[in-house]
Structures are given as C-alpha cells and as structure tokens.
Chain A
Amino acid sequence: MIVKIATSGGFAGIPAAGINKTVDVSSLPPPLQERVCRAFEPPKLKRLEKSGAPDTSVDRFNYAITVTDDAGEVHRYRLEESVLPAELIDLMDEM
C-alpha cells in the first residue's frame, strides 16, 4: 500500500509550504504500518470525504490523498482539513 499526501491552500497559499509526501507503508515499522493501514482504508476516507459539513474555517489546508492498495487499485480523495480527525492528522505527521 502506498499513501500519497499533498496539500494546497493554507495561510501562504504556496504549494512548497504545504505537505507533500509519499509513503510506502511496507517500509514503516510494523506497529505504525498497522495503524496507517487501518486509518487509510478507502471506505473510511470515502466516508470522511462525504462528511463535509459547512466549514467556517479559513487558511486551512486542503488535502489530496491518493491510496494505491496492494492490488494496484488507485483511490483518490479530496478532503478539507476540518473533516480530518486529529488522530489521523497526527498520524500523517508521524509517517
């Protein structure tokens, strides 16, 4: 499984200031590997993508997350930061 995370927006509005990382989950230590696989399951991300409530926040990042599963299937999601649980954001920072 490969997870790609890219952001746009933010206070600066500069792509270089945002997050841009690609992680081959198989290269992570086993405990982290398990947490990442659970957190980035496509159905979970799909639910988050559809959960967008009216957002009053400004200057936050918008996330483009691409998950390539072990069968080679590619899943793409566009998520506002406000819908991401704090635990998922912390995990992104840890990856």
Chain B
Amino acid sequence: MFRVQGCTCRHDPLQCIIPPHMLRVLSIRAGGEVAKMARSLLDQSEKFRESRSEDAGTVMVPGKALPGAFVAAAMSAPAGLHDLHREIYDGENKAALPGKPVRSEGSPATGDAAVDAAYDNAKIVFDLYSDEFNRNSLDGKGLPLKATVHHRRDFNNAFWNGSQMVYGDGDGVIFRNFLELSVVAHEMSHGVVGFSGGLTYQGQSGALNESFADVFGALAVQRNIGQSAHEADWLIGKGILGPGINGAALRSMRAPGTAYSDGQLGQDPQPYHMDLFVNTSEDNGGVHINSGIPNHAFYLFSVLLGGNAWGAPGHIWYAALQSLNNPFASFADWAAETMEAATGLYGVRSLEFVFLRRAWKLVGISV
C-alpha cells in the first residue's frame, strides 16, 4: 500500500504513470533523491511484473530480450527435446468427448482413414512448431495432442474445444471431410493462440485468431511439400468441399472472396481490404469473414519477400503472437505488433520491415 497526497491506493501512481524506460534513464542520469526514487520504483515494478506473471498462470512471462516486456512462456523456453504424444479417439458419431481411444503414440495404422489422417497430420504440425519455432507442442510444455474423429452424425465442422481437436466426417454433400492438413493445422494453431495469451473470439480479435490459424494452416502445407511462397496455392481447406460444390477450397489467402461460388454455399464472403470490412453480428462478428484481410496481408508480405513463407514471415507472425499480450487486439494493434517483431528480428531498415509495412498498407492498414 502506498500513501500519496492523502490518497491510499494499491499502486503507486508514479509507477503507473512513469514508464520503465524513463525510470531507467532517471536512475542513471538524475542525481540524489530522484535517482534513488527511480531505482526503488524500478525494483517495485519488477516485483509487480513477476507477481502479474504468476497471477496469469504460466501464459505470459517477463521477456529476457526487452526489459519490461512480456512474452508467452513458450517464447522464453530453452531449446531442447520436444515430446510428441498423440492420442486419437473415435467419437462413434456421438457428441460425447473424447470418445473411444483408437490410436496412441507409436501404434500402427488402423486402416480407418480418418484416424490415420488425424494421427499423421498432427505430427506434421507438431514438427512445424517444434523445428521452426522451438515450440514444444501447443502449450509449449509438451501437451499431448488429443483428437476425436467421427464426431457426431454427418457433422459439417471441426473445432478446438480448449483442450483437444474435434473433427466431423462431413455430410458428403457440402463437405467431404475435415482432415486435410491445412484444417488440422488450423485447429491446432487455435490451441497455440489460446496458450499464448489468447485472442478473444469476437470481432477483430476473433478474426485475428482465425487468421493466425489460417496462416499456420498454410505454412504447415507449404513446408510439408517444400513449396515457396510463389509456388503455393494459399488455399485453406483445399478439396474438403463436397463433390457437387463449385469451389476450390474454403478460403483463399491469395484472393480472399474467390474460394467458392456456389448455388448452395453462396459466394465466398471474405474481404481483402479494410474498405470491404464486413460488419455483422453473425459468426461472432464475422470472425471467419474479416480474417481475409490479415490473411491477405500475410500472403502479400510473403510474396513480396519471396522464399519460404515459414521463414521470415512465419517467424514474425509467431513472435508477434508471443509478445502481443492483448486479447482484444484490433487489426491495427496486430499490424503494429508484427512491425515490432520485424524490427526486433531483422532491423528497422530491413527488407522484411519495408515489405511488411507495404503489405499492411495494401490491405488498408497504415503502420
């Protein structure tokens, strides 16, 4: 408790007002009592950050590279062996989760295409995060990868329920299945978002959650087949639409709004620019619609830069998520965070910095 000018409050107002970088300057340059006060406040500030980190569980921790900054726990974990442990369950067309265990780590293929695709694709995604981003599973701490297939009857959906992946079989008319690699990587990446501080599933922050999942869905596919940004098709859910549906995929990062055009499904509603942002109360405020804008920014950046999208672009997006610490982030907040990440990783006058700013501008977001 601190008492300042007759007020009693839990936080020292100076601590709330003076940012840590100013306190550090004061502690070095000011003299006497002011420097002493600054050092004292810095000590308190450090203790407060540690306490905040403990309060928040193990998701956000003080970063080492930038004093005063927070990063997700997985970002500060040392490199080392990562534990792949898969558990696949058969939902037997019912809703109860997780269902009947049918395949675990190291056991042979079952012959059930859905079970084996869930098992194989989970490893490809695990390897992407482990090899490229030094992340030990979805939580950064070796979380077993649980997935249920054959969920419900003719179920046209796949989702992340906060602790596992769940895949329906599709009705065979609108959807064939949900076990294509970009879909599996999409759902697993929702887990990564959740364990990295989270992005509230509503409006722009929800669309960013969706976009991060699409970006890493695309990266899992491209890395698996060794495709550069120029060679890739940038489709999410390629081949999962039903045989009579006029469409190539569910979403296109290269050309949002063009993935399908069909009598039953309608026209792909995704925008590629802020001028076309869709205001709606459906779909948690259009999280699967407006994700087209940050999706397209990532595509443009990757193509402008060239090479593999899981290289610099992927690293910038991943680092931005780990340091964001703002579950209600807007598109502009996220764009600024990616610029920070690009600066930290590659420098302020780097090609990465310049092309990233250009990509955001091309989708109508100035940074």
Chain A residues with CB under 8 Å of chain B are 8-18, 55-62, 82, 86-87, 89-90, 93
Contacts and interface: CB of A to CB of B under 8 A. Distances in A.
B146 interface: no
30 contacts: A8-B282, A8-B283, A9-B288, A11-B157, A11-B158, A11-B250, A12-B157, A12-B237, A12-B250, A12-B288, A13-B286, A13-B289, A14-B174, A14-B265, A14-B266, A14-B288, A15-B282, A17-B156, A17-B157, A17-B174, A56-B194, A57-B161, A58-B159, A58-B210, A59-B157, A60-B157, A61-B157, A82-B161, A86-B94, A86-B95
A93 B96 contact: no
Interface stretch (B32-40, B41-49, B121-129, B182-190): B182-190
B178 interface: yes
Interface string B282-296: 111011110000000
B157 to A, nearest CB: 4
B97 interface: yes
Interface residues of B, number: 40
B317 interface: no
B162 interface: yes
The 8 lowest CB-CB distance pairs between A and B, nearest first, are A13-B288, A56-B162, A89-B95, A59-B159, A86-B95, A86-B96, A57-B161, A10-B157
B327 to A, nearest CB: 11
B201 A16 contact: no
B360 interface: no
A42 B162 CA distance: 29
A11 B41 CA distance: 47
Given A9-B284, A13-B288, A14-B266, A57 B156 contact: no
Given A17-B156, A18-B156, A58-B190, A11 B178 contact: yes
Contact of B187 (A14, A59, A61, A89): A59
A18 B156 CA distance: 7
Given A58-B159, A60-B157, A93 B175 contact: no
Contacts of A11: 157-159, 178, 183, 186-187, 237, 250, 288
